[in-house]
């Protein structure tokens, strides 16, 4: 996150009219109380202001755990959703079918679509059959920042000890991680509900949510690259069965070396065509991103990098000449 966002982080507070769909903010879990960041929140129905206290204390806490990012040219910018999804597809296809069999992933616009049109987004997510997979990779771009969420063993019984249901949150700017927790909790609850799962609301909201102590970024542009590298490294060494008794596994501040990440970034920069400034590339996929200007979206501050409302259209039955990605696990 940039210097301007270190002292104040603006975030919308969604007002949910249905009490059954409210997400308790107290469900945020961290690995170590010493690393919990104290925030002062002034929340209104439209906008909440989150002010980080004791900035210098936090910097000291993170001392030695921050990955120095490669120096970028002045043309460098945060990764667009189109570029991210292209790179995500390349990483996904670099693994064998046997390796991919226990994974599935959502493209980056799913969460944004859920915020704007939850019913439609949940219908599309059902087609991913996430309850039949061990791991579901969910990249999220929210408030102009990329994070990775991983759903573990959602199809397993709640009482299982060897295959523990869990939500992992990997954020290269960890001090901002918990701003997304309420929406994420509601997202998970609605996924279970849309699937017709028998679990009660209480059981769903008690699924452990762990914020992993992953390497941290030091500039304001590499969050998307960190998420892509998190995905690649996680798929490389994901345990056969995830269990909280063995957590955090490899998810530590020294998970990978700076030079490994820098090499990955250099390769991405070489292989990714530079887009014209201000142009968002839309990838031809089975589900297309359609941008729609609305009066409401123009008046309200955006929680994501899309300046418009994102609408998902199922193009699978259309006569479009766009490419479609083969395989049920890839959109």
pLDDT tops 90 at residue 326: no
The pLDDT value given to residue 227: 97
H-helix or E-strand spanning residue 191: helix 181-195
% of the chain exceeding 90 in pLDDT: 51
Domain parsing of the chain, residue ranges: 3-314
Cis peptide upstream of residue 192 (ω within 30 degrees of 0): no
pLDDT tens digits along 266-285: 988 887 655 433 333 333 33
pLDDT tens digits along 27-71: 333 444 443 332 222 222 222 233 233 333 333 444 434 444 444
The model's confidence at residue 72, banded by pLDDT at 50, 70 and 90, is very low
pLDDT tops 90 at residue 241: yes
The model's confidence at residue 4, banded by pLDDT at 50, 70 and 90, is very low
% of the chain exceeding 70 in pLDDT: 59
pLDDT tops 70 at residue 259: yes
Beta bridge partners of 313: 288
C-alpha dist (Å) from residue 50 to 42, 206, 308: 7, 25, 24
The pLDDT value given to residue 90: 93
Calculate the CA dihedral of residues 287, 291, 292, 296 and round it to 10 degrees. Answer: 110
pLDDT tops 90 at residue 207: yes
pLDDT tens digits along 148-205: 999 999 999 999 989 999 999 999 998 888 899 999 999 999 999 999 999 999 999 9
- Comparison of pLDDT for 300 and 81, the residue scoring more: 81
Q: Mean pLDDT score of the chain, rounded to an integer?
A: 70
Computed on alpha carbons and rounded to an integer, the radius of gyration of the chain in Å comes to 19
Q: What is the CATH code for 3-314? A: 3.40.395.10
> b/e string for 307-316 if b means 16 or more Cβ within 10 A?
ebbbbbeebe
* Cα 302 from chain centroid (whole Å): 16
pLDDT tens digits along 292-310: 333 333 333 344 443 333 3
pLDDT tops 50 at residue 247: yes
Calculate the CA dihedral of residues 80, 25, 200, 147 and round it to 10 degrees. Answer: 20
pLDDT tops 60 at residue 118: yes
């Amino acid at each position: 996150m940039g210097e301007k966002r270190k002292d104040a982080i603006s975030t919308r507070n969604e007002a949910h009219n249905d009490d059954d769909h409210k997400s308790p903010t107290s469900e945020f879990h961290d690995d170590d109380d010493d690393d919990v960041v104290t925030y002062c929140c002034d929340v209104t129905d439209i906008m909440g202001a989150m002010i980080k206290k004791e900035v210098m204390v936090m910097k000291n806490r993170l001392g030695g755990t921050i990955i120095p990012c490669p120096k970028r040219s002045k043309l460098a910018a945060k990764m667009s959703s189109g570029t991210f999804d292209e790179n995500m597809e390349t990483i996904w296809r670099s693994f064998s079918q046997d390796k991919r069999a226990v994974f599935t992933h959502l493209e980056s616009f799913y969460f944004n679509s859920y915020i704007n049109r939850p019913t439609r987004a949940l219908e599309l997510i059902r087609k991913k059959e996430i309850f039949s997979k061990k791991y579901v990779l969910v990249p999220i771009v929210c408030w102009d920042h990329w994070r990775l969420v991983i759903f573990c063993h959602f199809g397993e019984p709640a009482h299982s000890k060897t295959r523990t249901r869990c939500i992992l949150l990997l954020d290269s700017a960890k001090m901002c991680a918990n701003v997304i927790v309420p929406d994420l909790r509601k997202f998970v609850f609605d996924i279970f509900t849309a699937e017709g799962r028998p679990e009660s609301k209480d059981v769903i909201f008690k699924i452990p949510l762990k914020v992993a102590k992953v390497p941290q970024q030091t500039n304001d542009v590499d969050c998307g690259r960190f998420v892509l590298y998190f995905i690649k490294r996680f798929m490389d060494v994901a345990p056969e069965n995830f269990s909280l008794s063995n957590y955090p596994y490899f998810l530590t501040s020294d998970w990978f070396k700076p030079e490994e990440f820098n090499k990955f970034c250099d390769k991405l920069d070489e292989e990714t065509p530079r887009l014209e400034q201000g142009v968002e590339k839309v990838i031809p996929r089975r589900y297309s991103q359609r941008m729609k200007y609305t009066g409401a979206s123009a008046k309200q501050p955006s929680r994501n990098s899309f300046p418009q409302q994102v609408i998902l259209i199922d193009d699978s039955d259309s006569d479009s000449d766009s490419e479609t990605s083969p395989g049920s696990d890839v959109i």
